[in-house]
Structure 1
């Protein structure tokens, strides 16, 4: 349930979004975010801040049209952070530390502009969830809206 504060001009809202579990890879979640925040339409100008509350997944903004981009992202980051290396931290399995590396490289938060009740994304931009674990489970995103 969202919590909300408004003064005479500015509104603040915070909502915890629970995403369903997804397999390892890069997933477009723009529609999931918009569906969880119908109040976006009330903001003429503002910012949406998204914080992914996990250390083995990531958020990023990139091309939303060609699925090959998401597959290429997965191949690139798997080469960059291979599973079968001699990592000291492997308590949760061989994908644990590589998942933390990927999350650190890509980040866990985004700040996106709101314009006329919608996210002001570029034509080919979409919000990606990078799931970096084989069995990452559901993921939580804390969404904070601020604007007028």
Structure 2
């Protein structure tokens, strides 16, 4: 909640009414962005230590291990972060800028959306049986990417 009212009672009422956070004007864009990231972290599914299985894909967060059809796949740290994020949101579509924000904790002002495109390309080479015709890591034309549970 954004408000010009900065009294303790105002903040308590705002939070009690359901606000996830209460930010008093004036505020800096950096503080607003940090608070939004904080709320997103609290509302996003967390990776537990348990293996997550989506189609032929198994992700083991504790060991940062990925297995496809019984074969372990060697991923870079950021490739792992990307696939780990997507397995916690199967079938959900994310734009490149959303992925930059959620996986890289950055915006397209600092990193280009081509960064996401390249990482998706490399993941397809490592995870898909036929990277030219992906069945697991799909492109949703004009929108972004999604992890299919059909694989």
Normalising by structure 1, report the TM-score.
0.23
**Which protein has the bigger helix share?**
2
| Larger Rg belongs to | 2
Higher RCO (CA-CA < 8 Å; seq separation 6+): 1
**Which protein has the bigger strand share?**
1
